[in-house]
Structure 1
Amino acid sequence: MFSVTVRDHIMIAHSFRGDVFGPAQKLHGATFVVDATFRRPSLDDDNIVVDIGLALEKLHGICGALSYRNLDDEPDFAGINTSTEYLAKVIADRLAAAAADGSLGAGASGLTGIAVTLHESHIAWASYERDL
């Protein structure tokens, strides 16, 4: 399996519901390093996994749409605990949609999977992987 990973970051504010979250139930900020990995079993006709420039551009757009926002106020996240795991899924699903609509280039049609990892710090991170 071949893979290419691109990186960006998001800076958000949010709060959680539920005792399991302790003090994070209060409004707080979070900064995540975001890694998006694209996978395929064989290279395309240009010997690449995905156009890195388009992948970076799309990831940056997705991250930009989330950054500097209080996710508690965003209609897409109403009533949802926007955990690190959940946000990884949101980003992966948006990248999958970009692969499907052609905005990652024609070669992206051969992608078979996407994994997104959000690094909360140097000691904790969460990922979501999906098939395409």
Structure 2
Amino acid sequence: MFSVTVRDHFMIAHSFRGEVFGPAQRLHGATFLVDATFRRAELDPDGIVVDIGLATQRLGEVLAALNYRNLDDEPAFAGVNTSTEYLAKVVSDRLVERIRAGELGAGAAGLTGLTVTLHESHIAWASYECEL
């Protein structure tokens, strides 16, 4: 299996509901380092997994829609605890939409999987994996 990973980051504010979250129930900020790993069994005719430039651009677009937002104010997240795990899936789902729309180039049609990892610190991170 071949893979290519591109990286970016975004900053948000949010709060959580539930005693398990302790002081994070109050409004707080988070900066996430994001890795998007694209997988395929065989390289495309150009000898690559995915166009790194297009993958980087699309990841940046997905994150721009979240960056510098208070997620508590976003209708798409109403009633949801926007945990690191949950946000990894949101980023993945939005990247998958772009892959399926052909926005990562024709070669991306051969991708077989995607993993999105959000690093919330140097000691903690969460990932979401999906098959394509």
TM tier, smaller: over 0.9
Give the corresponding residue for 2:6. Answer: 6
Letter of the 1:77 partner, please give it: F
Q: Which runs of 5+ in 1 are unaligned?
A: none
Give the corresponding residue for 1:50. Answer: 50
The two structures have a TM-score, normalised by structure 2, of 0.99
1:67 and 2:67 correspond: yes
- Between the two proteins, the alignment pairs up a number of residues equal to 132
Structure 1 SS opposite 2:97 = helix
Q: Following TM superposition, by how much is the alpha carbon of 1:2 offset from its aligned partner in structure 2, in angstroms? A: 0.3
| Deviation sequence 1:19-54 (CA, Å, 0-9, x none) | 000000000000000000000000000000000000
Poorly superposed stretches of 4+, deviation over 3 Å: none
Structure 1 SS opposite 2:47 = coil
Distance in 2, matches of 1:39 and 1:98, equals: 15
The two structures have a TM-score, normalised by structure 1, of 0.99
Q: Which runs of 5+ in 2 are unaligned?
A: none
RMSD: 0.4
Give the corresponding residue for 1:108. Answer: 108
| Deviation sequence 1:50-76 (CA, Å, 0-9, x none) | 000000000001111101000000011
Give the corresponding residue for 1:35. Answer: 35
Structure 2 SS opposite 1:35 = strand
Distance in 2, matches of 1:111 and 1:96, equals: 10
Give the corresponding residue for 1:85. Answer: 85
Q: Following TM superposition, by how much is the alpha carbon of 1:81 offset from its aligned partner in structure 2, in angstroms? A: 0.3
Letter of the 1:59 partner, please give it: L
Give the corresponding residue for 1:117. Answer: 117
